């Protein structure tokens, strides 16, 4: 897939996990699954990072990838639940210029068949300039489940953000 400009979209993956960022020793399976998802869309994954559940650090990374690195797509995993430390949606909302509520709604709807807790996900999506930012759940299995309905739509969204039709 090319997003309207001929070259593969540039994607970045942010894993939000205080335990992993603190060196829990567990591999970042969710981040890897999200990177695979981005590559399956035809994107080139140009950056991956792991940060703790700290709003300021999440916001800084999202801004840098959108504004400085000019990534077309930024995918996050983790920090979207109801725990007091889950601040990814608040950090994302703070950096977005426009929300794309339908993307988050589609992800929650797709999760409905897989977990009775689907409605507790607070993930969101939207744009900052020409960058699409999408919050995924932190569970590695949920990446494919929530991402399934997006696979056909995200390439079109990226093309629109690049000025395509």
Instruction: Count CA within 13 A, CB hemisphere, residue 44.
Output: 10
The pLDDT of residue 30 is above 50: yes
- 152 — phi, psi (to 5°)? -85, -25
Q: What mean pLDDT is reported for the chain?
A: 92
The pLDDT of residue 75 is above 80: yes
Nearest to 136 by CA among 160, 103, 159: 103
The pLDDT of residue 26 is above 80: no
Greater confidence (95 vs 28) lies with 95
Query: What whole-number distance in Å separates Cα of residue 145 and Cα of residue 140?
Result: 9
Predicted confidence at residue 4, as pLDDT, reads 45
For 10-161, CATH number out of 3.40.980.10, 3.40.50.1820, 3.20.20.70, 3.30.565.10 equals: 3.40.980.10
Q: How many CB atoms lie within 10 A of CB 102?
A: 10
The pLDDT of residue 3 is above 70: no
> Among the ranges 22-31, 53-62, 110-119, which has the highest mean pLDDT value?
53-62
The pLDDT of residue 12 is above 70: yes
Give the pTM: 0.93
* Mean pLDDT score, 62-87: 97
Predicted confidence at residue 27, as pLDDT, reads 80
């Amino acid at each position: 897939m090319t997003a309207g400009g001929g070259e593969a979209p540039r994607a970045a993956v942010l894993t939000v996990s205080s335990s992993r960022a603190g060196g829990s020793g567990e591999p970042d399976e969710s981040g890897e699954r999200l990177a695979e998802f981005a590559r399956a869309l035809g994107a080139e994954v140009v950056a991956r990072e792991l940060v703790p559940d700290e709003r300021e650090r999440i916001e800084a990374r999202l801004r840098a990838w959108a504004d400085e690195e000019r990534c077309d797509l930024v995918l996050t995993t983790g920090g979207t639940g109801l725990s007091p430390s889950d601040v990814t949606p608040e950090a994302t909302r703070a950096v977005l210029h426009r929300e794309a509520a339908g993307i988050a709604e589609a992800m929650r709807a797709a999760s409905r068949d897989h977990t009775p807790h689907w409605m507790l996900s607070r993930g969101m999506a939207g744009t900052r300039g020409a960058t699409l930012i999408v919050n995924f759940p932190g569970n590695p299995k949920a990446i494919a489940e929530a991402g399934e309905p997006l696979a056909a739509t995200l390439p079109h969204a990226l093309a629109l953000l690049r000025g395509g039709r």
